[in-house]
Amino acid sequence: MLCQLASERDQDDVKQIEKRDSVLTSKQQIDRLLRPGSSYFNLNPFEVLQIDPEATDEELKKRFRALSILVHPDKNQDDPDRAQLAFEAVDKAYKNLLDPEQKKRAVDVIQAGREYVEHNMKEKKKQLKKDGKPQFLEEDDPEMFRQAVYKQTMKLFAELEIKRKEREAKDMHERKRAREEEIETAEKAKREREWQKNFEETRDGRVDSWRSFQAGKSKAKKEKKPRSFLKPPKVKMEQRE
């Protein structure tokens, strides 16, 4: 029952936000979509389009059409560059929500954020009861509850994005390392082929050189004269009388 009331309260809050933002001017919408930290705020496609996760496909389509026209560069020729960035954020959010898998992931993150806040509130009230203190929290106020869920949801989206970038960087490093190894293997194989080719092409020359060398040695042996040794003169022994 409490969860149902909380859900109904959240839906009412979202509808109020939609009503409020529906009257924003083009400039105000562009400022909202490009505010500081928008790279993380805009990770939540429902936040970008300011639409309830329970909205139908038709409601989603209408919201996208209205918002995309509002921030389109053609409608904001005095600030086309920022308008283009805002339009791209809206277009990306819409495409993400058209993808069932991406939409489910976003809904799961939002639900996780809400459950986290509700769990914390429950634990805080337990502690207050134990301490004999009034069990009232600022999150009991619908607006404060919405803000707490919003902050926790943004935190979860940011954490997921950081992890995604880390995985992407790791995968890129692995691909780069594999590519470098592939290039090194190819270059090594090329060097071996070139060496083998050169070896084959110079084989006849090496054989001819060896034969010439051997022939020269044989000729030298034949032409070599025997050594002559000088014999010492014979010494005559003198005869004594």
| Residues 124-180: tens digit of each pLDDT | 999 988 999 898 899 999 999 999 999 999 999 999 999 988 998 998 888 898 998
pLDDT at residue 135, rounded to an integer: 87
Tell me the pLDDT band of 235, cut-offs 50, 70 and 90.
low
CA distances in angstroms from 52 to 74, 107, 228, 236, listed in the order given:
28, 10, 119, 140
Q: Is the pLDDT of residue 48 over 90?
A: yes
17: pLDDT strictly greater than 70: no
Residue 47 exposed, middle or buried by CB count within 10 Å (0-12, 13-18, 19+)? buried
Instruction: Give the number of other Cβ atoms within 10 Å of residue 139's Cβ.
Output: 19
Contacting residues for 149 by C-beta, under 8 A, at least 6 apart? 10, 110, 113, 114, 117
Sorting pLDDT into bands at 50, 70 and 90, what band is 88?
Answer: very high
Q: Minimum mean pLDDT among 23-27, 101-105, 147-151, 219-223: which range?
A: 219-223
Is residue 72 over pLDDT 80?
Answer: yes
C-alpha 104/C-alpha 5 separation (Å) is 23
Query: Which one is predicted more confidently, 231 or 103?
Result: 103
Q: Please say whether the beta carbons of 27 and 76 come within 8 A.
A: yes
Mean pLDDT (the chain) is 83
Given a contact cutoff of 8 angstroms between Cβ atoms, the answer to whether 167 and 31 are in contact is no
Angle between helices 80-98 and 100-130 (to 10 degrees): 90
* pLDDT class of 239 with cuts at 50, 70, 90: low
